[in-house]
C-alpha cells in the first residue's frame, strides 16, 4: 500500500527536482503553496487543476470546535482586490481529522494546517490533536481576537503573540510551527522576533489587511462586522516590502535580543510567476497564493512553471539562488565588522 510520504514524494517528482525547498524540516516539491482560506481542503479544486503538482496546501482556518462563521455578507470585490469576512467557518479539528484529512492526504502535496482560536487553551488543545496526525506543519493564525484580553488580536502585540506561540510550541511534540503574521501590527518586526524567541520555526506573511466598505444605497457598512480582510493584487507591493524588511530585521540584533533568522513564506496578492519571483528575491523561501486562484484556478500551476523556466534560463539549481540578499547581507556585516 502506498503511504502518505510516498504520495508526497511522487508529487514532488512531477515538478522539476531543482525547485524543491525544505522549510523547518518539511520538504515541499516546489516553493508554491495554496494559501489558507482560499483552497478549502484541496479536493474542491481537484477537477480544475493537477493538485499534486503544488508544493503544499494550507487548509482553511481550523478551530478546536465547529464554527458557523459570520452573519451577513462575506465577500466584497474591490479594485484589484477582495474583501472577506468569513469568520473562520469550519467543521472543527476532530471532524477535519476524521473526514477531510484522508482525502487531503491522498492528494500528495505537503499539508499545512492553519490553526486558529480565541484563547490560549483553545489553541493548545487543537494543537495537541493535530500533533498526532499525519499533517506536516502547523501554521498558527494569530490574527484572531483574544477573548480574555478584550478581543484584541494576538498578533498585534509582541507579548500576546509570544504567549500563544510559546504555548502552542510547548503543546507540539512532532510538528514544526510556522506563525502567520498580521500586517496590521504596529511593529511587525517586534511581533516576529517575539514569535521566534517563543519557538516559531518559520514565519508566513502577510495575512489580510483590515479594511471596510460602505453600501452607498443604505449608508451602512457592507459587512456586519464593519471591517473585513483585504487581499489581492492591491496589497502585493506592501506585502513585498514587509517581507524584504523582515528578512533583514531577523538578521539584525535588536537591543538585547540576538539575531534569529528563520525561514519566511511570503504571501499577499501573488497572481503570477513574476510576483512570486519578487517575493523569492526579497528573501522568502516559498510563497502562498490565494485570491488569484478564485479568478483563475490554474494560477499556481502557471507560477510553478514560470519559476522553473526562469531558473532554467538563468542557470539556477535551486530556488534559494533566486535571492542575492544572503551574500549581500553577509558582505555588509563583514564590512561593518572590519
**Catalytic pick from 83, 142, 144, 206?**
144
The answer to whether 144 is a known catalytic residue is: yes
* 284 closest CA partner among 21, 18, 15, 11: 21
Rounded CA gap, 248 and 261, in Å? Answer: 9
Residue 35: strand, helix, or coil: coil
Task: Classify burial at 47, counting beta carbons within 10 Å of its beta carbon; exposed 0-12, middle 13-18, buried 19 or more.
Answer: exposed
Rounded CA gap, 75 and 54, in Å? Answer: 26
Do residues 82 and 232 make contact, with C-beta atoms less than 8 angstroms apart?
yes
Count of Cβ atoms closer than 10 Å to residue 4 Cβ: 17
How far apart, in Å, are the Cα atoms of 43 and each of 134, 195, 274?
A: 17, 32, 27
Report, as residue numbers or ranges, the catalytic residues: 144
Amino acid at each position: 500500500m502506498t503511504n502518505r510520504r510516498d504520495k508526497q514524494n511522487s508529487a514532488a517528482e512531477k515538478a522539476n527536482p531543482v525547485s524543491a525547498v525544505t522549510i523547518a524540516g518539511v520538504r515541499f516539491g516546489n516553493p508554491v503553496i495554496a494559501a489558507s482560506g482560499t483552497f478549502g481542503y484541496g479536493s474542491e479544486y481537484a477537477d480544475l487543476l493537477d493538485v499534486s503538482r503544488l508544493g503544499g496546501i494550507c487548509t482553511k482556518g481550523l478551530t478546536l470546535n465547529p464554527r458557523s462563521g459570520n452573519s451577513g455578507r462575506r465577500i466584497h470585490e474591490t479594485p484589484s482586490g477582495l474583501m472577506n469576512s468569513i469568520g473562520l467557518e469550519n467543521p472543527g479539528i476532530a471532524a477535519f481529522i476524521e473526514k477531510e484529512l484522508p482525502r487531503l492526504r491522498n492528494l500528495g502535496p505537503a499539508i499545512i494546517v492553519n490553526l486558529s482560536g480565541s484563547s490560549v487553551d483553545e489553541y493548545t488543545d487543537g494543537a495537541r490533536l493535530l500533533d498526532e496526525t499525519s499533517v506536516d506543519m502547523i501554521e498558527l493564525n494569530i490574527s484572531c481576537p483574544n477573548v480574555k484580553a478584550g478581543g484584541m488580536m494576538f498578533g498585534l502585540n509582541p507579548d500576546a503573540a509570544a504567549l500563544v506561540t510559546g504555548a502552542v510550541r510547548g503543546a507540539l511534540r512532532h510538528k514544526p510551527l510556522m506563525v502567520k503574521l498580521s500586517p496590521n501590527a504596529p511593529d511587525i518586526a517586534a511581533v516576529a522576533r517575539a514569535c521566534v524567541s517563543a519557538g516559531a520555526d518559520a514565519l508566513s506573511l502577510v495575512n489580510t489587511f483590515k479594511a471596510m466598505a460602505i453600501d452607498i444605497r443604505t449608508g451602512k457598512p457592507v459587512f456586519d462586522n464593519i471591517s473585513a480582510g483585504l487581499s489581492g493584487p492591491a496589497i502585493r507591493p506592501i506585502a513585498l516590502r514587509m517581507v524584504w524588511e523582515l528578512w533583514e530585521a531577523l538578521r539584525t540584533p535588536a537591543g538585547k535580543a540576538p539575531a534569529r533568522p528563520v525561514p519566511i513564506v511570503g504571501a499577499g496578492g501573488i497572481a503570477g510567476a513574476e510576483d512570486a519571483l519578487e517575493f523569492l528575491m526579497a528573501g522568502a523561501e516559498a510563497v502562498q497564493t490565494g485570491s488569484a486562484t478564485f479568478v483563475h484556478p490554474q494560477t499556481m500551476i502557471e507560477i510553478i512553471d514560470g519559476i522553473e523556466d526562469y531558473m532554467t534560463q538563468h542557470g539556477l539549481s535551486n530556488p534559494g539562488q533566486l535571492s542575492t540578499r544572503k551574500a549581500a547581507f553577509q558582505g555588509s556585516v563583514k564590512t561593518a565588522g572590519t
